[in-house]
Amino acid sequence: MSDHAGLGEADAGDRWIGVRRHQAALVTCGLGLIGAWLTQGGQSYAEVVVGAAMLACALPTHEGLTVGERAVIGATFVTRAKWSSVHVAECGDGVRVRARGVATVRSYELQHRGRLDLSGHDVDNAGTLASFADGLATSDHTRHFSVHVMTTPWQVSTMLALPSDVAAPPGWRLNQQLALKVLGPLDGEGSFWLLERWSYLRTSNGLIRVLRVRDFSAVASGHALLEKLQFASPWLDVAVHVDVVGASRAQRLAARAVHRVGSDEVTSGAAGFRRTAASARALERLRQREVAVVSGSALVRMAVFVVIKATSLVQLERDVDAARRFAFDCGLRCESGLGRQAAWYCGQFPGGPDW
């Protein structure tokens, strides 16, 4: 539920006077090179070419990425190996997954009688998880947990993945087999291979496409975030990963965010820029968050992955388009993950290896 999560525009990417740090660095260096070329009488055309390239790399594109970031993603995709392996093994009452990293988790299944029962108690379930996150926030260390909702034509299963030293909240029962089912096409221990393409993955069981929700700010307060999205495809998994920041660090981060945005407001105002309603709302939201964190609420980093499975490329494209439409209707915006499918697929695993 959006009211329990306290959602707003993500501030994971640091901004300075409205731009991200690498954009500011590229623009500064680009203008400096072009200015040096002009003041020196145009002696070397290399300076103006490099400066223009830096300015071009700072330009934003859709999904929040810059031209430079897209160029880096493309170059990395072309040069790296396309095959990668995933190894899954039982470890006591938990499961160990080795993908782009190594993680050991225990899996718990939500106890409910069916989809209608789950939908009717979504507010209570969201409140329980929010209280659970607040409890983890009392630690001085960052703790990670994830919620996975697996949808098939026959049933819906909800799993909570926790570190081995963390107890589950009420309403969840230990189910090791559910984690094995989430972790890949084997439904059990073993290894399997992934073949990465630009926009999807190929496994022994078919094709996989991973989307990531990057913006929740348009979701109305009191509304379920992902309930409608789950109906976009009969073969769809939703993974919500949460990093709960330790109490002392959370207070520092919250205070620093207020100071940074407040300083930007003062600087832009002194430069003659008008203060917009959006910037005023963002500053007020950060101040409210600082108060909430000081009062004991958890400060979290969230990532939501949508995993769509299909047996053919035509079906996959149709289901991906449907998921995007459902997400837009719910007030969500998704990233396509082009060139990063293997990293995102491994990152959405329980425990979040290399997340």
Residues 139 and 115 in one domain: yes
**Tens-digit pLDDT profile for residues 151-205:** 888 888 889 999 888 888 888 989 888 888 888 777 677 888 999 999 999 998 8
- With the CA atoms of 306, 312, 314 and 318 taken in that order, what torsion angle do they form, in degrees rounded to the nearest 10? -30
| Residue 113 maps to a domain | yes
| Residue 126 maps to a domain | yes
Q: Which of 26, 57, 78 is the last residue of a domain?
A: 78
Residues 136 and 90 in one domain: yes
How many CB atoms lie under 10 A from the CB of residue 198?
Answer: 12
Dump the DSSP string for 242-279. EEE--HHHHHHHHHHHHHHHHHHHHHHHHTTPPPPHHH
Residues 90 and 187 in one domain: yes
**Tens-digit pLDDT profile for residues 294-303:** 888 888 888 8
214-223, 225-234, 316-325: segment of lowest average pLDDT: 214-223
pLDDT at 77: 94
Residues 192 and 331 in one domain: yes
Residues in contact with 235: Cβ distance below 8 Å, sequence separation at least 6, in sequence order:
151, 152, 153, 308, 309, 310, 319
Residues 156 and 136 in one domain: yes
CA distance 293 to 254: 7
Residues 261 and 191 in one domain: no
| Residue 5 maps to a domain | no
Highest-confidence range of 10-14, 61-65, 216-220, 271-275, by mean pLDDT?
Answer: 61-65
| Higher local confidence (pLDDT), 47 or 114 | 47
Domain residues for the domain of 264 are 248-294
Total domain count, the chain: 3
| Residue 22 maps to a domain | yes
pLDDT at 170: 86
Residues 74 and 88 in one domain: no
Residues 340 and 199 in one domain: yes
| Residue 354 maps to a domain | no
200-214, 237-251, 276-290, 340-354: segment of lowest average pLDDT: 276-290
pLDDT at 344: 92
Residues 154 and 214 in one domain: yes
Report, in angstroms and rounded to the nearest whole number, the Rg of the chain calculated over CA atoms.
22
Residues 89 and 127 in one domain: yes
Question: Percent helix, strand, coil in the chain (nearest 5)?
Answer: 40, 25, 30
Residues in contact with 188: Cβ distance below 8 Å, sequence separation at least 6, in sequence order:
88, 180
Q: Which of 78, 101, 125 is the last residue of a domain?
A: 78
Residues 180 and 134 in one domain: yes
| Residue 224 maps to a domain | yes
State both tokens at 36. Answer: 């040096």
| Residue 129 maps to a domain | yes
| Higher local confidence (pLDDT), 218 or 171 | 171
pLDDT at 42: 63
| Residue 7 maps to a domain | no
Residue 239, SS3 per DSSP: strand
Q: Nearest CA to 107 among 119, 91, 121?
A: 91
Q: Which of 27, 47, 78 is the last residue of a domain?
A: 78
Residue 63 carries which DSSP code? G
Residues 173 and 282 in one domain: no
